[in-house]
Structure 1
Amino acid sequence: MQVISNRNRLQRRKLLAALAVSPALMARFRSAQALEPGIRQGKLRLSVMPQVWGNLELSIEERCEVLAALGFAGMDLPQPDQIPILEDYGLAPAMMVGTGTTFENGLIRRELHDQIEEATHAGIDTCAAAGCPNLIALPGERRGMSREEGADHAVEILSRVAPYAEENGVNVCMEITNSKVAADNRTDQVFDDIEWGFDVCRRTGSPNIKIVYDFYHVQIANGDVVRTMRDNLELICHAHVAGVPSRAEIDDTSEMNYRYIAREIADMDYDGFVALEYRPSAGRNPLVSLAVCYDIMTVI
């Protein structure tokens, strides 16, 4: 692992103070200083979404140091200028943004297709330059549109960008949400049924149009999460995990058995990233939660 420079010593002291609440985590962190960057401790390539840090004010260097010490392989949604920092710690960019889509105005808005195509080409270029395999694209809100029409529009724009994605070796991927939990603020999303997304991917006919398989959302929207993933593995390039029903940690506060799920994912020979996307529970140290949840998803 890289040596922390003088200008980062204050950040390092802050980081160690946060870790000190857990002797086990502190010991693991210190022992990891002797490891070479990129050493992994399990079969799955684990990553994190920004939510896992909660309200902790950690620099990108501090976050990378924690992730590398625990054994993570990557980070979701880094900025392009952060890629060299990730590389210093043996971490990879797992997924990036750059399609011009939002949860409100996504792929199904045909009037935005020209803008989305231009933005997606630029996003593919960014991913290719960074060595990032996945570019996320959001299907968007229905606002009265039928799911069938939305699927047609999504297939249309994804078919337009697919050749460029294939040429550059980048997956353009859609993430499922759910329309049931009001607190998630996604009650009008067109992609609230995993089969809708699989159908869109198949209709494009491209190996580079795929799905971000979010276990939290799939459990709420469809259930049968392991079998569904296994049966459609060729359409999945990235996965997210969070506890159900509260979207908190993936430990025994969740109704889902993520140790079992992790073993099943590994047995599928899935080769994409699995990113933690839970929100830390109030009153819990986010760094301790991160270590616990990493352990749950580690399959030796």
Structure 2
Amino acid sequence: MPSSPTRRTVIKNILAGTAVAGTAGPMGCFAAEEKQAENVALKGNINHSVCRWCYQDLSLDELCAAAKRIGIKGIDLVGPKDWPTLKKYGLDSPMCNGAEINLTDGFNDPQFHATLQKNYAAMIPQVAAAGHRNLICFSGSRRGMSDETGLANCVTGLTPLLTLAAKHKVVLVMELLNSKIDHKDYQCDRTAWGAALAKRLGSENFKLLFDIYHMQINEGDVIRNLTDYHAYIAHYHTAGVPGRHEIDESQELYYPAIMRAIKATGFTGYVAQEFVPKQADKIASLQKAVQLCDV
């Protein structure tokens, strides 16, 4: 794992919609990075996004400007306070956040239902009013409960929100996370479990976020699973395995093949880069990843 703050730490700090903008390091080096990111004509088969938390040393304005030049269309995991900045650059917020409690206290545990329902009922109209569509949610930790109990509890917690989500054309998107390395005890840790929940809810306003990094760690067989369960997937995240760094030849996944498989399913949503750059030139790493996924 990288020595920089983890996603768990960063998301905890930005639940109210604020993105952490680090002040470590001179801004001049990032200006140099941005100059190297040139406009490149992309094929347009994949809608590209990038996760805000992976670039804490850049201000949101700097990240937006660089993303725009690279051909990225959106910034993932930001909340209402940051949406005006994205709008200024003509960027989407393909995966909004800010309604969740955290990654461990989720819809699979009834003790959190009242808080979550209040949070999401308030956030869903805001997402719609800003012109966005997807709002992230989490199963939460298993805490000894069976798969069946977790499914039943999630159905109970999510069902009251789906009518409101449908009214506002917002999709609640539950992320698949690995419970082996990064998020021990997380319940929605397999594609089949997430798909089973989607089937029980029976709503187009509930889908899955297929995190390729997490699912490679927890279950493998990435292309087969995203193909078999594509009807329930609204969004994808990337990162290199192992280490969660660049998705280049230094890691075990071959992302062009994965992107071609996603394209073959007819997917029209977003693929967001969620790796933590290890190279000094972070924007160059991001641009390389986008080009690698541009199939």
The TM tier, using the shorter chain, reads 0.7 to 0.9
Aligned residues between the structures:
271
User: Using the alignment, how far apart are the partners of 2:94 and 2:185 within structure 1?
Assistant: 27
Contact 1:44 1:273 in 2 (8 A): yes
Runs of 4+ in 1 over 2 A off after TM superposition: 14-21, 25-29, 39-42, 98-101
Structure 1 residues 72-121: Cα deviation after superposition (integer angstroms, max 9, x where no partner): 01001223132222122221011112333322211111122122111111
AA partner of residue 18 (structure 1): F
CA 1:280–1:263 in structure 2 vs 1: closer, same or farther (change >3 Å)? same
Match in the other structure for 2:6 = none
Match in the other structure for 2:260 = 263
> Does residue 1:293 correspond to 2:289, yes or no?
yes
> Does residue 1:247 correspond to 2:244, yes or no?
yes
User: Using the alignment, how far apart are the partners of 2:91 and 2:293 within structure 1?
Assistant: 17
Q: Percent identity?
A: 34
Match in the other structure for 1:20 = 32
AA partner of residue 50 (structure 2): V
Contact 1:40 1:72 in 2 (8 A): no
Structure 1 residues 44-94: Cα deviation after superposition (integer angstroms, max 9, x where no partner): 1111112432x52x2221111000000001001223132222122221011
How do residues 1-300 of structure 1 correspond to structure 2 at under 5 angstroms? 17-18=29-30, 20=32, 26=35, 28-29=37-38, 41-53=43-55, 56=57, 58-181=58-181, 184=182, 186-281=183-278, 283-299=279-295
AA partner of residue 220 (structure 2): G
The runs of 5 or more residues in structure 1 that have no matched partner are 1-13, 33-38
Secondary structure of the equivalent of 1:95?
coil
User: Using the alignment, how far apart are the partners of 1:248 and 1:17 within structure 2?
Assistant: 20
AA partner of residue 46 (structure 1): H
Contact 1:16 1:26 in 2 (8 A): no
Contact 2:37 2:66 in 1 (8 A): no
The runs of 5 or more residues in structure 2 that have no matched partner are 1-25
CA RMSD in angstroms comes to: 2.1
Match in the other structure for 2:3 = none
User: Using the alignment, how far apart are the partners of 1:189 and 1:223 within structure 2?
Assistant: 17
Structure 1 residues 168-192: Cα deviation after superposition (integer angstroms, max 9, x where no partner): 11110111111212xx2x1111111
User: Using the alignment, how far apart are the partners of 1:242 and 1:123 within structure 2?
Assistant: 28
State TM-score, norm by structure 2. Answer: 0.85
User: Using the alignment, how far apart are the partners of 1:129 and 1:139 within structure 2?
Assistant: 26
AA partner of residue 44 (structure 2): G
CA 1:28–1:99 in structure 2 vs 1: closer, same or farther (change >3 Å)? closer
Structure 1 residues 115-147: Cα deviation after superposition (integer angstroms, max 9, x where no partner): 211111111112101111111111111122222
User: Using the alignment, how far apart are the partners of 2:47 and 2:59 within structure 1?
Assistant: 23
Contact 2:208 2:234 in 1 (8 A): yes
User: Using the alignment, how far apart are the partners of 2:29 and 2:145 within structure 1?
Assistant: 51
Match in the other structure for 1:3 = none
Match in the other structure for 2:13 = none
State TM-score, norm by structure 1. Answer: 0.84
Contact 2:155 2:201 in 1 (8 A): yes
Higher mean C-alpha displacement, 82-91 vs 194-203: 82-91
Secondary structure of the equivalent of 1:94?
coil
User: Using the alignment, how far apart are the partners of 2:144 and 2:43 within structure 1?
Assistant: 47
Alpha-carbon offset, residue 271 of structure 1? 0.9
AA partner of residue 200 (structure 1): L
User: Using the alignment, how far apart are the partners of 2:281 and 2:143 within structure 1?
Assistant: 39
User: Using the alignment, how far apart are the partners of 1:89 and 1:16 within structure 2?
Assistant: 21
Match in the other structure for 1:11 = none
User: Using the alignment, how far apart are the partners of 1:271 and 1:116 within structure 2?
Assistant: 29
Alpha-carbon offset, residue 151 of structure 1? 1.1
Structure 1 residues 4-53: Cα deviation after superposition (integer angstroms, max 9, x where no partner): xxxxxxxxxx76643536xxx73543x58xxxxxx865311111112432
User: Using the alignment, how far apart are the partners of 1:100 and 1:258 within structure 2?
Assistant: 30
User: Using the alignment, how far apart are the partners of 1:153 and 1:84 within structure 2?
Assistant: 35
Contact 1:174 1:211 in 2 (8 A): yes
Higher mean C-alpha displacement, 39-48 vs 224-233: 39-48
Alpha-carbon offset, residue 291 of structure 1? 1.2
